[in-house]
């Protein structure tokens, strides 16, 4: 009985910790190139993991075969009076779940999971989607991110 009580207390404490560190931002960001549209739907943090939900629309009359998404951050530096320049990209290790084939006139959902980390000042998030045959590539940058519990 003592072992069961200890397990129940530990499980309750874990649920409380996860509930305290769960947050979600609706993104509503999209990019279209040719017959392909990618929508970023939401960014969530559950405990130490982050999740980026997205959808891919195929407006063409042929099936698409997306490859894994590349996820990370880039640093923006000052370029004098000209504006800002990108100084470097940092890929954040992630796993993407995307259906292997997107049918013609089809619409699929996917998710990228990663070890969540706050972005440093001057860093902006990016995600790039490529096809397996390298026929297309789409990149979305600078979408909303968490900062001390608030959207950046």
pLDDT digits (tens, 9 = 90+) for 45-99: 988 899 999 999 999 999 999 998 999 998 876 655 555 556 677 888 999 999 9
pLDDT per residue as tens digits for the range 91-147 = 889 999 999 999 999 999 999 999 998 888 888 999 999 999 888 899 999 899 987
Strand residues in 92-136 grouped as ranges (E):
94-97, 107-115, 123-130
State pTM to two decimals. Answer: 0.78
State whether the Cα torsion 32-33-35-41 is positive or negative.
negative
Residue count of the chain:
152
d(CA 106, CA 5): 50
């Amino acid at each position: 009985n003592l072992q069961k009580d200890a397990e129940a207390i530990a499980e309750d404490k874990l649920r409380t910790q996860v509930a305290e560190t769960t947050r979600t931002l609706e993104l509503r960001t999209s990019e279209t190139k040719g017959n392909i549209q990618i929508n970023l739907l939401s960014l969530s943090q559950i405990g130490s993991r982050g999740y980026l939900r997205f959808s891919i629309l195929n407006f063409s009359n042929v099936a698409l075969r997306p490859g894994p998404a590349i996820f990370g951050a880039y640093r923006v530096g000052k370029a004098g009076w000209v504006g800002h320049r990108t100084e470097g990209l940092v890929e954040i290790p992630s796993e993407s779940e995307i259906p292997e084939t997107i049918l013609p006139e089809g619409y699929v959902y996917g998710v990228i999971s990663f070890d969540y980390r706050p972005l440093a000042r001057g860093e902006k998030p990016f995600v790039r989607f490529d096809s397996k045959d390298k026929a297309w590539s789409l990149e979305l940058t600078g979408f909303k991110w968490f900062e001390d519990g608030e959207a950046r």
